[in-house]
Structure 1
Amino acid sequence: MGGDHYQTLGLQRDATKAEVKAAFRRRALRDHPDRHAHSHDAAARADAARRFRLASDAYRVLSDDRLRAEYDLRLRPSSWSSSSASYGYGYGYGHSRRGRSWRRDPPGGGGAAASARFDWDLLLKSVTRRGFLINLGFASVLLTGAAFLDGSILEIWKMNNSGKSFEDAMESIEKVKIQKENR
């Protein structure tokens, strides 16, 4: 995987799925290894195969909504630079170029916060995964059930023991235990 997927397919960043598919088909027709199989130039065959792999990878990412959203997140310029020449298209997180890191600085700037290097994009990816959301839903159902059950038990106690508090009932139980022990 290398370079900018949009650039590989010759597309703008706001290209539709239909445009992505059409651009991939054009590249596939031009660069497919079978089209160059009979070429006597081994370097030309290898270059066509490499271009086809890049186009295939670009199509795989840009045609899948989730993968494209993650890829577009990586394409956002980092907070340390506003120069279009330093954008890290296609290099991924943590890859350094000319001594600079593509990771964003944590909110709050330098000092102790800078040494922590909290990765906000990783947190966003983690909390939006299907497994995390299912576990979060399950935990909320369990907590809601526990809260409901706790309130219900108190209401049942009040219905069956009108006029008595829980403490009074516990005192009477202790008195009965003491009486049994004395016998």
Structure 2
Amino acid sequence: MGDHYQTLGLRRDATKAEVKAAFRRSALRDHPDRHASSTDSAARADAARRFRQASDAYHVLSDDRRRAEYDLRLRGSASSYARTSSSGWASSSSAPYGYGYGYGHGGGSWRRTPPGAGAGAAAGSIDWEFLLKAVTRRGFLINLGFASVLLSGAAFLDGSILEIWNMNNSGKSFEDVIESIEKAKKDAERR
């Protein structure tokens, strides 16, 4: 997989409009339909390859979430995610994300490499990329919200029970009441 920014001829801080314009220029130049009448099969194949790369780059760089993940992978030289095909690592002619315009995308699946298998992975180190992805998933955030509602409800009930106790037993603490109950039990046993 090449550098998506380099594929589209962009700087790393390019805006979405610049990404879209660069992809359109590349698509107009390299689209397979534009080269379909060419007699040179190598030129057609090269144009199709460049178009695949440009469409893959556009697919990643035009979406904020995918672009952030891609930039994170670029910053860290060894990624903990890899796309595999039936023959092992994905070739440069297939899409790294399994999307695009239907050219050379097939047979792959996402898998997480085992801990410690990545290049430079230290034993017992925290995989921050995986942790960030895990805690920003919709399901996790919904469960976190639900748990916070339950905990605040429990805290409210605890405070409410204490207030009800104080209203019904003014001037007495819980310990005083327990002592008086135990005293009443001992008196009842003696009789």
Q: CA deviation at 1:33?
A: 1.0
> Does the alignment pair 1:131 with 2:130?
no
**Shift in alpha-carbon separation, 1:92–1:51, aligned structure 2, 3 A:** farther
Q: Does 144-153 or 162-171 show the bigger shift?
A: 162-171
Which of 33-42 and 128-137 deviates more? Answer: 128-137
Alignment partner, residue 115 of structure 1: 123
Shift of 1:167: 4.7
Offset from partner CA, 1:108-158 (integer Å, 9 cap, x none): xxxxxx322421121122222232222222211211111111111111121
For 1:115, what is the secondary structure of its paired residue? Answer: coil
Cα 1:104/1:148, change in 2 over 3 Å: farther
Which amino acid counterpart does residue 32 of structure 1 have in structure 2?
H
- 1:21 is displaced (CA, Å) by 0.5
Equivalent-residue separation in structure 1 for 2:63 and 2:14 (angstroms): 13
Alpha-carbon distance in 1 for matches of 2:143, 2:39: 57
Partner residue of 2:34? 35
- Superposed, 1:2-21 pairs within 5 Å as 2-21=1-20
Q: Percent identity over the alignment?
A: 77
Q: CA RMSD in A?
A: 2.8
For 1:157 and 1:52, the matched residues in 2 are separated by: 74
| CA distance in 2 between partners of 1:153 and 1:33 (Å) | 73
**TM-score for the superposition, normalised by structure 1:** 0.71
* Partner residue in 1 for 2:68: 69
Alignment gaps of 5+ in structure 1: 79-87, 96-100, 106-113
1:151-179 superposed Cα distances (whole Å, 9 cap, x missing partner) = 11111121122244435556777868xx8
Give structure 2 stretches of 5+ with no counterpart: 83-116
Contact map agreement 1:104 1:119 (CA 8 A) in 2: no
For 1:150, the equivalent position in structure 2 comes to 158
Kindly indicate which of the two structures has a greater share of residues assigned to helix.
1
Distance (Å, rounded) in 1 between the aligned partners of 2:79 and 2:60: 14
In structure 2, the CA distance between the partners of 1:63 and 1:30, relative to structure 1 (3 Å rule), is same
| Distance in structure 2 (CA, Å) of the matches to 1:104 and 1:152 | 54
- Distance in 1 between residues matched to 2:80 and 2:166, nearest whole Å: 59
- Give 1:152's aligned amino acid: S
Change in 2 beyond 3 A, CA 1:24/1:92: farther
Quickly say closer, same or farther: Cα 1:24–1:7, change in 2 above 3 A: same
Q: Residues 73 and 24 (structure 1 numbering): CA distance in 2 closer, same or farther, change over 3 Å?
A: same
Aligned pair in 2 of structure 1 residues 9, 71: CA closer, same or farther (>3 Å)? Answer: same
Residue 80 (structure 2) pairs with residue 93 (structure 1): yes
Assess if the C-alpha contact under 8 Å between 1:94 and 1:102 holds in 2: no
**Residue correspondences, number:** 153
